Structure 1
Amino acid sequence: MTFTPAAWPRRLRSQEWYGGDSRDNIYHRSWMKNQGLPADLFDGRPVIGICNTWSELTPCNAHLRDLAQKVKNGIYEAGGLPVEFPVFSPGESSLRPTAMMYRNLCAMDVEEALRANPVDGVVLMVGCDKSTPALLMGAASADIPAIVVTGGPMLNGWFRGERVGSGTALWQMSEAIKAGEMTRDDFLEAEIAMSRSPGSCNTMGTASSMASMAEALGMALSGNAAIPAVDARRRVMSQLTGRRIVQMVKDDLKPSDILTKEAFENAIRTNGAIGGSTNAVVHLLAIAGRVGIDLSLDDWDAQGRNIPTIVNLMPSGEYLMEEFFYAGGLPVVLKALLDSGRLHGGALTVSGRTMAEEVSEVKNWNEDVIRPLDRPLTEHGGIAVLRGNLAPLGAVLKPSAASPELMKHRGRAVVFEDIDDYKAKINDESLDIDETCIMVMKNCGPRGYPGMAEVGNMGLPPKVLRKGIKDMIRISDARMSGTAYGTVVLHVAPEAAAGGPLAIVQNGDMIEIDVEARRLHLDVPQEEIDARLAAWASPIRTPKGGYAQLFHDHVLGADKGADFDFLIGCRGHEVPRDSH
């Protein structure tokens, strides 16, 4: 049902700061007025925060100041007072050891900024992939009216007449160099073609996947996910979002009203249909934890298992986000799922309308880019959750990016103790490995790396690549970029650094994988596994002090979303005590 507005006007949260003539009220207003703000802007109208992850160190988000101005215009038009503020910007392309280590820091920054400041609602300005879940997590825990506007994807890359997908082409070309199929000079020439406009990855990587998740959850206006960053319609969307958040404050429409179990099920099914990133698993689990929704890996498997992948985008398919937008974008996918009975049409969105109402009139303008359900890219997409004695708490695999012939396989383990061990050995011609082996990497999970870096899609050894082999089974407790591809088993839980069975896998052990049966098995007698675990000692040194120690001591496993244990749940937006 359509959301019913609450009574208006009512005393807003910001009036605890600005409403009245006490010493404290005057203190707060007078300092704001040094920016040249007229007195009537504090007359009880909604104060809207613009939570911006703009940063020149986060290239995907470097254009968000321009979009924020459009958001401000919309807020003013609707009768609100916009106030822009920065938060930590977790950019994937530059941050070390990995942006994922700082997702939770950004979420803490957002939550505390919202609770401690005089804002009645917030527009979440996101782009690079960790910024979207981080801002959603923080806003969900504070639970004031919130809406997402993304920066949008880059334009298509082109190199010598072929599409260049950001990230995907990088992995392909680096493997081609090792195989002797591409020169270093060609690689350098292709570099500029990979990122030729502002915006995030133009593939269905994690940034575009999470933009789609925000829309599928109902937390962004319909059509937001796919508009290219440089398209004028991205600016229009930003301005409309500014208008809409003012009405959301009047209606008191909060994240807790939208982020229901049905909304998360919609997002999981949508992720399968778009061939979305495996990173969406940990992020949605973390967001759900902030609103008290019981979401687990079992939900991912149950809700996404029989969803066809119908979006023909790299890394699973052929096209890029620009074509996805021209074909109609995510609303076309949502309508296809709705018409086939695979979507909860009654789920509420930030528009105040239901998901069914939002997509009722959309059309598919290119059935090669967004395939009909009876002609999918992959019949069974979604995320496969594997379990067994190697992953008692689960591991994930993306079938749409995997090789069909490897979905059931038994192979000899070739083990790398960590990412440094992998880098030291992978190019060694004496490495005892062939295409039938299974590459295993340890100590790259939330604690192990630390931060669970995107290193799970290990490049193949050159001597295998020279045979023309493009894929092998790879298993780790790491993540992989949403732009990557291959038969890669990720997020193995418990992770090796926490003493999970992955920690005791040895060279020569046989491993069995059966995706259809959802099985991941270490073919070693249980008594031998128990003996190895009893003798195991963690190679990970606990960081001393600072955020690194906080992260190590409190991060949960991948199966729980890798959030901090003390951040689970919604703490609300109660106004803190005034100290003035």
Structure 2
Amino acid sequence: MVLNKYSRIYTQDDSLPASQAMLIGAGLSEDDLRKPFVGVCSTGFEGNTCNMHLDGLANEVKRGLAAEGLVGLRFNTIGVSDGITNGTPGMRYSLVSREIIADSIEAMAGAHNYDALACVVGCDKNMPGALIAMARLNRPALMVYGGTIKGGTFKGQQLNIVSCFEAYGQKLRGHLSQEDYRGIINNACPGPGACGGMYTANTMAAAIETLGMSVPFSASSTAVSASKMQECLDTGHYLRLLLERDIKPRDILVREAFENAMVVTTVLGGSTNAVIHLMAIADAAGVKLTLADFQAISNRVPVLADLKPSGKYLMEDLSALGGVPAVLKTLLNEGLITGDTLTVTGQTLAENVADIRSLGAEQDLLRPSSSPLKADGHIQILYGNLAPDGAVAKISGKEGEQFAGPAIVFDSEEAINEGLAQGLVKAGHVVVIRYVGPKGGPGMPEMLKPTSAIMGAGLGDKVALLTDGRFSGGTHGFVIGHVCPEAYDGGPIALVENGDWIVLDASKNTIDVHVDAAVLQARREQWRPPAPNATRGVLRKYIRTVGSASTGCITDQ
């Protein structure tokens, strides 16, 4: 079999001497020109714990490729940090970066005719961006996750990145000294790796390992572990196998694989961001995935893992118990997932974990399905006169399943943050944050700063929050996001006024404002579309091209 069927366009065509001269000038030999080329994409950059070590891992991937007779050619793409940009105007670029990452990987690999891809990624949008590109290109490929960060400690308290946001809320209410506030900040992130709970990065890593697009243990090996380094070196073996067997992403990214990924996301209590990301990856792979599919999984699959943000454990704790493979083996034994889907190892999901021990009574991180943390899924899809096209609720069970109260409305994240500082949000309120959707934000920024401040202020179980924006995987409490249509498009959320009575019911999957239809219609007649929050550049392009959150915020439909 010809393994270099793409790169040979440049390397084996006598009519392209300049192409070959430039490759030789870049350090390749005549012998190298006859080998398969593997694009090694890194989202590494300095100044962010999630990504700071990725270039080093990518270099280890290159070593592993060379040992298998493959030529690794590293290139970089961007990686916007959610943790750094949250609560600032920079957060508008976060979801946008998913599309930039996908487009740039597709452009590099497509333009330079790489025969295969290895993407070394670490933060929330890096992973779905890489998978979207792989599915579009449909050449042998796999993802290497940069790994989870180790937890921090301060005065005996276990810390992670969300501890900082919640400390801010405590400080605002005078419950935390400046010294302790700075102590938490200085100790929350002790080194490289993605945010340590079952937040979006670890959620997507676990989902992608379940999909079969990364090797076993990739999602749960910590960033600084020997196993993570070995994973990088082993990439050469697996990519050569994929090339020899001509196994491509769309052979792996089938309907059953996505169903498995949704199950694992539910069992682990993962981020609601998985909804838009899995829909976008599925779309690129030619698989139809809808909000109804997520609800169908939640109807039959319980939450079993006691992981942060609503639980007590971190991903590093799961790693010590056998990681994601141990979870997969347990779920296979319980009949919650199917094991015959293909993976990048060349084996099926079941074959990958055949020798793995399932998790039992020796631990309490993953409960048995007979004694779940929540009998059904935490991701609930709600519909009603506030969200005709759907909304995504994250209901852990600890905050109850119903909430009713008067609305207090904010037209931006800045407004809610100011309102919290002024003490405007009271127990019993339904907090509405609007004009922060895909177009309105633009970029559908996460509302982690306000939700964390609400938690820190002791209001986490006393208010509900709904928005046409997103929530961080670190968010917990009675929260509903992705309200569609968004306010910018004139969705009903744009018509809500202070004091309107809102009823949220996650048991009936409803989200309604109790205002007479004639009153809402009169408000609609007075409503005018807002001016866009961006008039030039990539954010303006995003406003013009992005689709609804109800279909994954896809830009190329």
- Aligned with 2:62 (options 39, 56, 72): 72
- Aligned equivalent of 2:382: 386
| 1:200, distance to aligned residue in structure 2 (A) | 0.8
Question: Which one-letter code corresponds to 1:394 in the other structure?
Answer: G
Question: Which one-letter code corresponds to 1:309 in the other structure?
Answer: V
- Aligned equivalent of 1:416: 410
Question: Which one-letter code corresponds to 1:445 in the other structure?
Answer: G
- Aligned equivalent of 2:194: 200
- Aligned with 1:19 (options 12, 33, 37): 12
Could you tell me which runs of 5 or more consecutive residues in structure 2 were left unpaired when the two chains were aligned: none
| 1:530, distance to aligned residue in structure 2 (A) | 2.1
Q: Is 1:403 matched with 2:398? A: yes
Question: Which one-letter code corresponds to 2:7 in the other structure?
Answer: S
Q: Is 1:556 matched with 2:526? A: no
| 1:542, distance to aligned residue in structure 2 (A) | 6.0
- Aligned equivalent of 2:468: 477
Question: Which one-letter code corresponds to 1:563 in the other structure?
Answer: I
- Aligned equivalent of 1:265: 259
| 1:417, distance to aligned residue in structure 2 (A) | 1.7
Q: Is 1:134 matched with 2:129? A: yes
- Aligned equivalent of 2:155: 160
Relative to 1, partners in 2 of residues 1:221 and 1:425: Cα closer, same or farther, differing over 3 Å?
Answer: same
- Aligned equivalent of 1:523: 514
| 1:192, distance to aligned residue in structure 2 (A) | 2.0
- Aligned equivalent of 1:100: 95
Question: Which one-letter code corresponds to 1:561 in the other structure?
Answer: G
SS in 2 for 1:372: coil
SS in 2 for 1:343: coil
- Aligned with 1:293 (options 267, 272, 287): 287
1:8-55: CA deviation from partner (whole Å, max 9, x where unpaired): 2466111111014x130x322221112332211112x21111011111
Question: Which one-letter code corresponds to 1:369 in the other structure?
Answer: L
Relative to 1, partners in 2 of residues 1:323 and 1:97: Cα closer, same or farther, differing over 3 Å?
Answer: closer
- Aligned equivalent of 1:536: 527
Q: Is 1:375 matched with 2:371? A: yes
1:125-168: CA deviation from partner (whole Å, max 9, x where unpaired): 1101110011111121111111000100111211212211222x
| 1:460, distance to aligned residue in structure 2 (A) | 8.0
SS in 1 for 2:31: helix
C-alpha separation in 1, matches of 2:552 and 2:343: 24
Contact 1:269 1:382 in 2 (8 A): no
Question: Which one-letter code corresponds to 2:370 in the other structure?
Answer: D
C-alpha separation in 2, matches of 1:526 and 1:356: 53
Contact 1:457 1:484 in 2 (8 A): no
- Aligned with 2:478 (options 483, 487, 498): 487
Contact 1:156 1:164 in 2 (8 A): yes
Contact 1:114 1:139 in 2 (8 A): no
For residues 37-436 of structure 1, the aligned pairs below 5 Å read: 37-43=28-34, 45-95=35-85, 96-98=90-92, 99-167=94-162, 169-364=163-358, 367-400=363-396, 403-405=398-400, 407-429=401-423, 431=424, 433-436=425-428
Contact 1:51 1:125 in 2 (8 A): yes
Contact 2:395 2:479 in 1 (8 A): no
| 1:91, distance to aligned residue in structure 2 (A) | 2.4
Question: Which one-letter code corresponds to 2:385 in the other structure?
Answer: N
| 1:467, distance to aligned residue in structure 2 (A) | 7.0
C-alpha separation in 2, matches of 1:512 and 1:493: 17
Contact 2:443 2:539 in 1 (8 A): no
- Aligned equivalent of 2:437: 445
1:419-460: CA deviation from partner (whole Å, max 9, x where unpaired): 22223322224x3x5311211111011111110111166348
| 1:470, distance to aligned residue in structure 2 (A) | 4.6
Relative to 1, partners in 2 of residues 1:58 and 1:358: Cα closer, same or farther, differing over 3 Å?
Answer: same
- Aligned equivalent of 2:501: 510
Contact 1:364 1:370 in 2 (8 A): no
Contact 2:252 2:342 in 1 (8 A): yes
Question: Which one-letter code corresponds to 1:180 in the other structure?
Answer: G
| 1:188, distance to aligned residue in structure 2 (A) | 0.2
Contact 2:50 2:122 in 1 (8 A): yes
TM-score, with structure 1 as normaliser: 0.91
Relative to 1, partners in 2 of residues 1:399 and 1:46: Cα closer, same or farther, differing over 3 Å?
Answer: same
Contact 2:82 2:91 in 1 (8 A): no
How many aligned positions are there? 550
SS in 2 for 1:158: strand
C-alpha separation in 1, matches of 2:43 and 2:272: 23
RMSD: 1.9
Contact 2:209 2:216 in 1 (8 A): yes
C-alpha separation in 2, matches of 1:335 and 1:388: 38
Question: Which one-letter code corresponds to 1:17 in the other structure?
Answer: Y
| 1:466, distance to aligned residue in structure 2 (A) | 6.5
C-alpha separation in 2, matches of 1:141 and 1:154: 30
C-alpha separation in 2, matches of 1:239 and 1:532: 61
C-alpha separation in 1, matches of 2:27 and 2:119: 25
C-alpha separation in 2, matches of 1:251 and 1:544: 48
Could you tell me which runs of 5 or more consecutive residues in structure 1 were left unpaired when the two chains were aligned: 1-7, 569-580
Relative to 1, partners in 2 of residues 1:254 and 1:361: Cα closer, same or farther, differing over 3 Å?
Answer: same
- Between stretches 156-165 and 357-366, larger displacement belongs to 357-366
Contact 2:297 2:377 in 1 (8 A): no
Taking only the aligned residue pairs, the percentage that are identical comes to 32
Contact 2:440 2:532 in 1 (8 A): no
C-alpha separation in 1, matches of 2:356 and 2:201: 24
- Between stretches 490-499 and 359-368, larger displacement belongs to 359-368
TM-score, with structure 2 as normaliser: 0.95
Contact 2:442 2:533 in 1 (8 A): no
C-alpha separation in 2, matches of 1:40 and 1:306: 55
Relative to 1, partners in 2 of residues 1:466 and 1:541: Cα closer, same or farther, differing over 3 Å?
Answer: closer
SS in 2 for 1:304: helix
C-alpha separation in 1, matches of 2:437 and 2:267: 27
Contact 2:198 2:315 in 1 (8 A): yes
